[in-house]
Amino acid sequence: MRVLHTADWHLGQHFLTGQERTTEQQAFLDWLLLTVQAQAIEVLVIAGDIFDTQSPSYTAQELYYTFLVKMQATGCRDIVVVGGNHDSPTMLNASRQLLRRLRIHVVGGVPADPAEQILHLNAADGRPGLVVCAVPFLRDRDIRLAVPGETLDDRQIRIRQSIAEHYAALAAHEAVLRLREQDVPVLATGHLYAAGGEAREGAERDVHIGGLGLVGAEHFPAAFDYVALGHLHRPQLVGGRAHIRYSGSPVPLSFTEANDKQQVLLLEFAGAGAPVITSIPVPVTRRLQRFHGTLEEVEADILAYDNAAFQHVAWADVLVRSDETPAEVQRRVQAVLQLQKQHVIAPKGVRHQRATEAPDLAEAAIPLALLHELTVDEVFGRRVAGLPPERAAALTATFRELRQLLGESDPQAWGGEAS
**Residue 396, CA distances (Å) to 151, 353, 402 in order:** 13, 29, 10
280-285 own/partner pairs: CB under 8 Å, 24+ apart? 280/35, 280/39, 282/28, 282/31, 282/250, 282/251, 283/27, 283/31, 284/251, 284/252, 284/310, 285/23, 285/24, 285/27, 285/28, 285/310, 285/311, 285/312
pLDDT at 197: 62
Angle at Cα 32 formed by Cα 30 and Cα 38, nearest 5°?
110
At residue 139 the predicted structure's pLDDT band, cuts being 50, 70 and 90, is confident
CA 262 – CA 250 distance, rounded (Å): 5
Structure confidence at residue 310 (pLDDT): 94
Q: Does the structure show a pLDDT above 60 at 66?
A: yes
Task: Specify the pLDDT at position 362.
Answer: 42
Mean residue pLDDT across the chain: 85
Question: Which range is least confidently modeled, 31-40, 138-147, 260-269?
Answer: 138-147
Q: What digits encode the pLDDT tens for the residues 20-62? A: 789 999 999 999 999 999 999 999 999 999 999 999 999 999 9
Tens-place pLDDT, residues 289-336: 999 999 999 999 999 999 999 999 999 999 999 989 999 999 999 999
Residues of the chain with pLDDT > 90, as a percent, come to 63
**In terms of pLDDT, which residue wins out, 346 or 379?**
346
Distance CA 333, CA 300 (A): 10
Say if residue 363's pLDDT is above 70.
no
- Pick the most confident of 74-83, 159-168, 214-223, 375-384: 74-83
pLDDT (average), residues 333-361: 84
In this prediction, residue 208 carries a pLDDT of 45
| Interval 340-349 mean pLDDT | 91
In this predicted structure, the answer to whether residue 368 has a pLDDT above a threshold of 50 is: no
pLDDT of residue 419: 41
- With a pLDDT cut of 70, the percent of the chain lying above it is 82
